[in-house]
Amino acid sequence: MHTDSTTPSPFALPDEVKSFCEVARRIVREELLPLEQEYLASDKHAYGVKETINLKNVFGEDVVKRLTKLSHDTGLWNLMVPEEHGGSGLSMLAQIAILEEFNYTPVPFPFANVPNILYQCKGEQIERFLKPVIRGEKTTCFAQTEPDAGSDPGGMMRTKAVRDGDDWVLNGTKMWISMAAESDIIMVQAVTDEEKRQRGGITMFLVDRNNPGMRIEECGIRTWLGPKPSQYVIHFDNCRVSSKDVLGEVGKGFTLGQRWLTIHDRLLRGPYALGKMQRALDMSVEWSKQRVTFGKPISERQAIQWKLVDMYIDLEALRTLTYSVAARADAGEDVRTEAALVKLVSTEWGARSVNEAIQVHGAMGESLELPLTLFYRYLRHAQIGGGTSEIQRVLIARKLLA
């Protein structure tokens, strides 16, 4: 919830949340921004990798320890963890306001990044899977997409799981799986009933990274998202998974996947884009005032002013939409369609705003010493990853047409 060049949010946040936002803003400016040049110059960070992993990849142990201790000391480590699991119990609106602050820079800040569906763990699953992730000892990834099953995973999924005694045997291939090589726990969707499929025939399994029946292509798939590969192919070859490692209920895995997508890959794209858009606008305003051409700052030229105004409009509109949907989620509403709307406009408006910022900066905007090109690549990718913009429009159309 930045105020650098915006009016206050119309959504009233409790004083406790405002305090968290102030702490986050101070951490970004005092701790993370000074590390930005080193981060941008590194060839060791990868898109989509959890915060603690990217920190360890780029910086020395002293930086990682300092930031991790700061996260614990300020209470930000448990930002997204429910109270019943020792977390802050903060609302979705509060989480989004705080996460927006941290997305002001690409330098990651460590916290317990727990998939919301992992709280479905029961019995011994809590000790084996959930608690280590909360403590930051283990990381997860979500494996749904396949070579022929991207936009239509329910209808085209080929990875199958067959019951064999107390185990399930998985066979198939997952593709474009972010962070697979860095993850300890793979949340895998597999077809367990060919007839029912997404209507009760897909199950979610928690597969340990060291399972001998699972192989990850470590070389990864090279993309323009960063210097290191971040997307991987996972092969399951008679991979045996205990029935104790089914997440939730048998046949309910597709519903769990949609719940993960609704929050983590759609609604949380809002603050993911907002922080970057705010930074792009702040940088553009500052640059336009100091960049002089033909005898005067470019801030005095209408062509530049209108770009800044367009960026500001996108930012304010997205912030209002995102905060509104978060508040509705906190009220218990079904926000699947609205979360799809947030993902659609946050990625499209976000990429558009950062593109304008690059243009305002001219040749300097292409410099890898600035975060703008990295922001643009991340936001442009988000129009494809996790469900394309076209799929989000399909979801929204379904609600409009009942």
DSSP helix/strand/coil, 233: strand
- CATH code for the domain in which residue 166 is found: 2.40.110.10
Task: Give yes or no for a contact between 51 and 107, defined as CB atoms under 8 angstroms apart.
Answer: no
Assigned domain for 261 exists: no
* H or E stretch covering 292: strand 292-293
pLDDT digits (tens, 9 = 90+) for 357-396: 999 999 999 999 999 999 999 999 999 988 999 999 999 9
Mean pLDDT over all residues of the chain? 93
In this structure, what token pair is assigned to residue 214?
A: 């699972």
97 with 19, same domain: the answer is yes
In this structure, what token pair is assigned to residue 377?
A: 């690549």
Amino acid letter, residue 14: P
109 with 150, same domain: the answer is no
Residue 11 has pLDDT above 90, yes or no: no
CA distance 51 to 365: 26
Interval 276-283 mean pLDDT: 98
pLDDT digits (tens, 9 = 90+) for 84-109: 999 988 999 999 999 999 999 999 99
Buried b (16+ CB within 10 A) or exposed e, 361-375: beeebeeeebbbbbb
Assigned domain for 263 exists: no
52 with 170, same domain: the answer is no
CA distance 307 to 280: 12
* H or E stretch covering 235: strand 231-242
- Length of the chain measured in residues: 402
Assigned domain for 101 exists: yes
Q: What does the pLDDT read at residue 5?
A: 46
- CATH code for the domain in which residue 21 is found: 1.10.540.10
Task: Give yes or no for a contact between 301 and 287, defined as CB atoms under 8 angstroms apart.
Answer: no
Q: What does the pLDDT read at residue 230?
A: 81
pLDDT digits (tens, 9 = 90+) for 285-299: 999 999 999 999 999
394 with 276, same domain: the answer is yes
CA distance 383 to 393: 12
Q: What does the pLDDT read at residue 292?
A: 97
Residue whose pair of structure tokens reads 């998939």 in the numeric block:
115
Q: Tell me the torsion sign for CA atoms 38, 40, 42, 44.
A: positive
Assigned domain for 345 exists: yes
Residue 241 has pLDDT above 70, yes or no: yes
Strands (E), 131-201: 140-143, 160-164, 167-178, 185-191
Interval 275-283 mean pLDDT: 98
- pLDDT above 70: percentage of residues in the chain: 97
- CATH code for the domain in which residue 297 is found: 1.20.140.10
303 with 350, same domain: the answer is yes
390 with 276, same domain: the answer is yes
Domain boundaries, position 54 = 15-113
100 with 197, same domain: the answer is no
84 with 162, same domain: the answer is no
Q: Which of 212-226, 291-305, 351-365 has the lowest mean pLDDT?
A: 212-226
* H or E stretch covering 347: helix 336-361
CA distance 130 to 121: 7
Residue 74 has pLDDT above 60, yes or no: yes
Give the number of domains in the chain. 3
Q: What does the pLDDT read at residue 48?
A: 75
Assigned domain for 285 exists: yes
| Residue 206, beta-bridge partner list | 187
Assigned domain for 259 exists: no
Q: Which of 2-6, 130-134, 356-360 has the lowest mean pLDDT?
A: 2-6
389 with 337, same domain: the answer is yes
Assigned domain for 258 exists: no
Instruction: List the one residue out of 255, 271, 240, 251 whose CA is nearest residue 346.
Output: 271
Residue 37 has pLDDT above 80, yes or no: yes
Q: What does the pLDDT read at residue 8?
A: 47
Task: Give yes or no for a contact between 153 and 388, defined as CB atoms under 8 angstroms apart.
Answer: no
Amino acid letter, residue 397: A
| Residue 297, beta-bridge partner list | 292
Q: What does the pLDDT read at residue 41?
A: 95
Q: Name every residue whose Cβ is closer than 8 Å to that of residue 72 and which is 6 or more positions away in sequence.
A: none
Decide which of 62, 94, 113 is a domain's last residue: 113
pLDDT digits (tens, 9 = 90+) for 152-165: 888 889 999 999 99
In this structure, what token pair is assigned to residue 278?
A: 């705010």
149: phi then psi, degrees, rounded to nearest 5: -135, 85
Task: Give the distance between the most distant pair of CA atoms in the chain.
Answer: 80
